[in-house]
């Protein structure tokens, strides 16, 4: 099937198999920052934005995205969040990180001053096997504070 | 003579500082390079047809329909690969009596576990390869599976590998002192039986490999997600019949490993053989089901144990039986017997008792293979020992902290040889536990616990004191004949710009290896850390080394880097002395400049020195040949391993109506010797603790009696998620090891080692008003309610 899909602001016209998932489509385009961890919507490593909504790209078919806009980690615009992840060592192996950042960004857009429990609840959609999560909570909490000070 | 204090103690030392990880930047931008991110020209993708049975004879395999699918490049059974690869046997010479059967990359007439690969399909895409795998028709004759470790050695149980005679993989015991007399004379004896659940690593990035064979050169390049590149290089060369110097392993970013990516896997070896057959790159990325059914599993133990105390609360003896049910093979090359060794070495490790007996057996089962995973034996040993201490305290009516402090090996007794024969250089159990109790406000928590109980809230406080095996010497694997390096090396090159390139055999999986190596090199050499670039993971680029295992990166790799820094500094100062016409002893390197040792006046930048050395040798005396590349290696030879120690405490509530456990807080005081990077030590500890909480509360590979794993998906196999995890406070005590100048020990596994014990003890403390004692992991709500007699 032929689809037109805008990825990180760049329109792409492609012919894809109906069974091709969005994550596999993006990875084949060289956008390898979106990771396939479980391929059934549980682990959250493939989380990205579709028309501004946070979705699992392993549960989304590329053909469903015809005419839609996708933002992957390569096109994401939250440098303060990324910086806070580095500063707090909120990542080790980094495999969950793009998806975790997408989820954290989604939380901060909906709730500018989340409590630690709210952060923990929000990122419970994403597996991390390395950090034990505390440093991720620290990073998100720090960004919420920084943003509220600026605002 | 240089009488200054060590460079490690100088104010400008990077050692001891929480330097952020420079390699984290690419990962937060999604610009890492995991194996599946790599595309090579003409690459084919592998999928496997795997056994649905735990034990069966293969009567016939029909691949015709699979071969006919467009895009399929090759279909292989074991018979098709036998001319290309040799089988392996997972035994080690120093594990007396250990046995295992020959293992091939694909099933060789029989299948021994559900998930064992039978046919490999190479195709132009993974999807096509999977389509073809579905078209393979295999005729089986089902055989009776052996799935119960407690009856695996019974006479009427089928023998999995008839050529081995029985289902016993390995047996080892220790009987030290006079255990029977100690129990006869004991004032108090406590005992319990334990069930440790089979679980697995669940790395976010599954096992991944690309085998790129170039027939013209006879060279094989392996892009692998792996902890030990040199070990893999050796194994692929040996079993594919290649010269070792024709095999290169490149390991870029690794998406979690925890001991999973350190073993020989059938499907990865098959990928190597098929690459040789095809003469083109072959990629295999395990999917999640393949991960659950073929990544090594860990810790399936059944233990009965007892401890004897005198009336004053002195621990006299520990006596235990341990049975482990591994898979149908001992895993190559590390074996599935090492974990029993660790259990024997570690149980009751912090304490001064002199009577100790263990009878351990490792038996084969028709389940997925089992082998070393983060913590290796520690969680079992520590849970058993620390549970017995808690039971002892209860029966003796002593505080569990006081009982531990009373029974720790006295501080003046080090170096100390344990009744198991392990030698401890120096431990700080008293100091760690004292600090822990202070950090957590133990007294305050006890009084809060009391008042909460009156309100019907059952809060528990659980402790675990532990020792951890780190910085291994050749005694671990090398003496057993395995080509697994315990030494490691670091090469430093001063570049013409004044920057330093460091290459090292220890590897990075996100724990921060590259960062700490940069810290050590910058400190040892006297340069800004930003000018040090660290390269790991490429066997063509780095010194021969062991990689990541047994918490050795900082202790072994760090010391090699420290010594390399010193050696390069000496060479640089030799040259600087010539250029500056000064005496070597009057010069030093600080902040990337050669300076006067006295006063610190800047004399020559390393960039200028590099310029002269590399481009203007004509200006130097004829006998002055700059040597600005040095390599140093380090082998820890003083002890078989260098032990660290730690104290853990867990605070949790048990809801007696629902059986749910709510973790409130967790504390760790960790002594890993010299702390190179406090933040990274704390983060290793936190991540490790959570990886130990997982199997204590959630994680279990569930099998039916027929050997079918029934929860092989992330939706069914539960791991810790953020909402359920507590904040974890980490404190440090530093007892540097004298086995090295740097003094660092390991820290990677201690969190995972201690957490199951602390969680178990906290649950039992919470349930103490009901006189309920649980020791069957994971502590799921149904087990807790059953314990309480509610269901």
Reply yes or no on whether the pLDDT at B219 is more than 80: yes
Average pLDDT of chain B? 97
Q: Could you give the 3-state DSSP secondary structure of residue B52?
A: coil
Q: Are strands B661-671 and B727-732 parallel, antiparallel or unpaired?
A: parallel
Residues of B whose CB is below 8 A from A74: 29-31
Contact A85 B24 (CB under 8 A): yes
- Whether omega for the bond prior to residue B273 falls within 30 degrees of 0, making it cis, is no
CB B202 within 8 A of CB B717: yes
The pair phi, psi for residue B484, each rounded to 5°, is: -120, 110
Query: How high is the pLDDT of residue A151?
Result: 74
Q: What is the mean pLDDT of residues B713-741?
A: 97
B20 touches chain A (CB under 8 A): yes
What Rg value do the Cα atoms of chain A yield, rounded? 16
Q: At what angle do helices B378-396 and B338-346 cross, to 10 degrees?
A: 30
Q: Which residues of B61-72 are buried (b: 16+ CB within 10 A; e: fewer)?
A: bebeebeebeeb
| Among A124, A102, A2, CA closest to A52 | A102
d(CA A44, CA B6): 47
For tokens 């898979």, name the residue: B327
Contact A85 B20 (CB under 8 A): no
Contact B713 A40 (CB under 8 A): yes
Residues of B whose CB is below 8 A from A34: 30
The pair phi, psi for residue B188, each rounded to 5°, is: -135, 130
Contact A34 B30 (CB under 8 A): yes
Residue B7 DSSP one-character state: G
Contact A97 B28 (CB under 8 A): yes
As a dihedral over the C-alpha atoms of residue B238, residue B241, residue B246, residue B249, rounded to 10 degrees, the angle is -50
Q: Within 10 Å of residue B94's Cβ, how many Cβ atoms? A: 16
Q: What is the mean pLDDT of residues B70-85?
A: 98
Between the alpha carbon of residue B86 and those of residues B118, B140, B273, B329, the distances in Å are 16, 25, 10, 16
CATH architecture of A2-75: Roll (3.10)
- 3-state SS track over B442-477: HHHHHHHHHHHHHCCCEEEEEEEEEEEEECCCCCCC
Q: Is B93 exposed, middle or buried (0-12, 13-18, 19+ CB in 10 A)?
A: exposed
Reply yes or no on whether the pLDDT at B2 is more than 70: no
The pair phi, psi for residue A105, each rounded to 5°, is: -65, -40
Q: What is the mean pLDDT of residues B217-227?
A: 97
Confidence of residue B3 (pLDDT cuts 50, 70, 90): very low
A78 touches chain B (CB under 8 A): no
d(CA B200, CA B693): 13
Reply yes or no on whether the pLDDT at B294 is more than 70: yes
B689 touches chain A (CB under 8 A): yes
Residues of A whose CB is below 8 A from B29: 33, 73-74, 82
Contact B691 A72 (CB under 8 A): no
CA distance A120 to chain B (A): 5
Confidence of residue B575 (pLDDT cuts 50, 70, 90): very high
Q: What is the mean pLDDT of residues B627-636?
A: 97
Contact B723 A117 (CB under 8 A): yes
Reply yes or no on whether the pLDDT at B143 is more than 80: yes
Within B600-720, strands assigned E span 602-605, 629-634, 642-654, 661-671
d(CA A103, CA A126): 8
| Among B517, B512, B513, B505, CA closest to B234 | B505
Q: What is the mean pLDDT of residues B388-402?
A: 98
Reply yes or no on whether the pLDDT at B1 is more than 60: no
Q: Which CATH number fits domain A79-150: 1.20.120.80, 1.10.150.120, 1.10.260.40, 3.40.350.10?
A: 1.10.150.120
Minimum-distance CB partner of B30 among A17, A72, A135: A72
- Please give the domain boundaries of chain B with CATH numbers for all domains: 7-22+487-634 (3.30.365.10), 41-143+204-257+260-294 (3.90.1170.50), 297-474+638-787 (3.30.365.10)
Residues of B whose CB is below 8 A from A19: 127
CA distance A78 to chain B (A): 10
- Whether omega for the bond prior to residue B333 falls within 30 degrees of 0, making it cis, is yes
A89 touches chain B (CB under 8 A): yes
Minimum-distance CB partner of A101 among B28, B256, B257: B28
Query: How high is the pLDDT of residue B9?
Result: 79
Query: How high is the pLDDT of residue B475?
Result: 85
d(CA B628, CA B495): 8
Q: What is the mean pLDDT of residues B44-49?
A: 98
Reply yes or no on whether the pLDDT at B315 is more than 80: yes
pTM of the predicted model as reported, rounded to 2 decimal places: 0.97
Q: What is the pLDDT of residues B410-468, one digit of tens each?
A: 999 999 999 999 999 999 999 999 999 999 999 999 999 999 999 999 999 999 999 99
Q: Could you give the 3-state DSSP secondary structure of residue B383?
A: helix
What residue spans define the domains of chain A?
2-75, 79-150
Reply yes or no on whether the pLDDT at B150 is more than 50: yes
Residues 398-457, chain B: which have Cβ within 8 Å of A?
Answer: none
d(CA B514, CA B557): 10
Between the alpha carbon of residue B386 and those of residues B55, B548, B647, the distances in Å are 38, 28, 11
Residues 94-133, chain A: which have Cβ within 8 Å of B?
Answer: 94-98, 101, 116-117, 119-121, 123-124, 126-133
When comparing pLDDT for A100 and B477, which is higher?
Answer: A100
Q: What is the pLDDT of residues A114-125, one digit of tens each?
A: 999 999 999 999
d(CA B434, CA B455): 30
- 3-state SS track over B644-674: EEEEEEEEEEECCCCCCEEEEEEEEEEECEC
Which region holds residue B581: left if phi is over 0, alpha if psi is between -120 and 50, else beta? left
CB B546 within 8 A of CB B484: yes
Residues of A whose CB is below 8 A from B691: 129, 132
């Amino acid at each position: 099937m032929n689809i037109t899909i805008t990825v990180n602001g760049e329109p792409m016209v492609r012919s894809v198999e109906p069974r091709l998932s969005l994550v596999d489509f993006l990875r084949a385009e060289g956008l390898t920052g979106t990771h396939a961890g479980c391929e059934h919507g549980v682990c959250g490593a493939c989380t990205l934005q579709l028309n501004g909504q946070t979705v699992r790209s392993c549960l989304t078919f590329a053909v469903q995205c015809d005419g839609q806009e996708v933002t992957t980690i390569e096109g994401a615009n939250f440098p303060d969040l990324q910086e806070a992840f580095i500063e707090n060592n909120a990542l080790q192996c980094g495999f969950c990180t793009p998806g975790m950042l997408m989820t954290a960004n989604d939380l901060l857009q909906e709730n500018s001053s989340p409590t630690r429990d709210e952060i923990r609840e929000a990122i419970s959609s994403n597996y991390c096997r390395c950090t034990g999560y505390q440093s991720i909570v620290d990073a998100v909490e720090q960004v919420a504070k920084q943003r509220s000070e600026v605002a | 003579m240089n009488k200054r204090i060590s460079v490690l103690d100088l104010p400008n030392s990077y050692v001891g500082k929480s330097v952020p990880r420079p390699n984290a930047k690419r990962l937060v931008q999604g610009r890492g390079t995991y194996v599946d991110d790599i595309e090579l020209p003409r690459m084919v993708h592998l999928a496997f047809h795997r056994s649905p049975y735990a034990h069966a004879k293969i009567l016939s395999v029909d691949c015709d329909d699979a071969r006919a699918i467009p895009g399929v490049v090759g279909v292989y059974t074991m018979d098709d690969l036998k001319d290309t690869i040799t089988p392996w046997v997972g035994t080690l010479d120093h594990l007396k009596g250990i046995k295992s059967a020959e293992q091939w990359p694909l099933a060789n007439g029989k299948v021994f576990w559900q998930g064992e690969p039978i046919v490999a399909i190479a195709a132009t895409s993974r999807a096509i390869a999977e389509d073809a795998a579905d078209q393979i028709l295999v005729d089986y004759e089902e055989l009776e599976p052996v799935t119960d470790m407690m009856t695996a050695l019974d006479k009427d149980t089928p023998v999995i590998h008839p050529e081995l005679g029985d289902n016993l993989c390995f047996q080892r015991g220790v009987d030290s002192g006079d255990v029977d007399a100690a129990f006869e004379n004991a004032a108090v004896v406590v005992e319990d039986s334990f069930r440790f659940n089979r679980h697995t690593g669940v790395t976010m990035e599954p096992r991944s490999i690309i085998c790129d064979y170039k027939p013209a050169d006879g060279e094989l390049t392996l892009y692998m997600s792996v902890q030990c590149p040199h070990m893999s290089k050796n194994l692929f060369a040996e079993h594919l019949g290649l010269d070792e110097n024709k095999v290169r392993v490149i390991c870029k970013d690794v998406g979690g490993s925890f001991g999973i990516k350190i073993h020989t896997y059938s499907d990865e070896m098959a990928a190597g053989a098929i690459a040789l057959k095809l003469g083109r790159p072959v990629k295999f990325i395990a999917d999640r089901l393949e991960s659950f059914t073929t990544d090594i599993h860990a810790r399936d133990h059944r233990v009965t144990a007892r401890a004897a105390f005198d009336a004053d609360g002195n621990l006299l003896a520990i006596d235990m039986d341990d049975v482990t049910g591994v898979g149908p093979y001992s895993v190559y090359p590390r074996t599935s017997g090492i974990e029993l060794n660790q259990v024997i070495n570690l149980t009751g490790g912090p304490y001064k008792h002199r009577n100790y007996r263990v009878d351990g057996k490792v038996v084969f089962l028709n389940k997925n293979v089992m082998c070393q995973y983060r913590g290796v034996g520690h969680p079992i040993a520590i849970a058993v020992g620390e549970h017995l201490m808690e039971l002892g305290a209860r029966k003796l009516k002593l505080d569990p902290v006081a009982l531990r402090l009373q029974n720790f090996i006295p501080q003046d007794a080090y170096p100390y040889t344990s009744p198991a024969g392990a030698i401890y250089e120096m431990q700080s159990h008293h100091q760690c536990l004292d600090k822990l109790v202070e950090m957590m406000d133990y007294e305050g928590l006890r009084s809060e616990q009391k008042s909460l109980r009156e309100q019907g809230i059952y809060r528990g406080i659980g402790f675990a004191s532990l020792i951890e095996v780190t910085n291994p010497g050749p005694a671990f694997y090398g003496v057993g004949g395995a080509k697994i390096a315990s030494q490691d090396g670091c090469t430093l090159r001063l570049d013409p710009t004044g920057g330093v390139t460091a290459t090292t055999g220890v590897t990075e999986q996100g724990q921060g290896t590259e960062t700490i190596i940069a810290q050590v090199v910058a400190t040892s050499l006297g340069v800004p850390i930003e000018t040090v670039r660290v390269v790991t993971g490429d066997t063509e680029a780095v010194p021969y080394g062991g990689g990541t295992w047994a918490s050795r990166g900082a202790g072994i790799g760090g010391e090699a880097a420290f010594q390399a820094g010193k050696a390069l500094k000496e060479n640089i100062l030799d040259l600087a002395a010539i250029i500056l016409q000064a005496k070597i002893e009057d010069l030093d390197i600080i902040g990337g400049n050669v300076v006067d040792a006295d006063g610190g006046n800047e004399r020559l930048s390393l960039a200028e020195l590099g310029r002269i050395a590399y481009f203007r040798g004509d200006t130097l005396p004829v006998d002055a040949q700059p040597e600005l590349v040095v390599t140093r290696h380090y082998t820890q030879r003083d002890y078989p391993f260098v032990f660290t120690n730690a104290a853990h405490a867990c605070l949790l509530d048990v809801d007696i109506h629902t059986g749910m456990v709510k973790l409130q807080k967790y504390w760790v005081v960790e002594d890993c010797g010299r702390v190179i990077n406090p933040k990274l030590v704390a983060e290793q500890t936190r991540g490790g603790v959570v990886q130990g909480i997982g199997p204590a509360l959630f994680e279990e590979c569930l099998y039916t009696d027929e050997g079918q794993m029934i929860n092989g998906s992330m939706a069914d196999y539960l791991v810790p998620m953020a909402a359920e995890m507590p904040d974890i406070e980490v404190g440090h005590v530093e007892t540097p090891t004298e086995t090295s100048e740097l003094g660092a020990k390991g820290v990677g596994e201690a969190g995972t080692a201690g957490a199951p014990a602390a969680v178990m003890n906290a649950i039992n403390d919470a349930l103490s008003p009901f006189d309920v004692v649980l020791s069957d992991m994971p502590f799921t709500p149904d087990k807790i309610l059953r314990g309480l007699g509610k269901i």
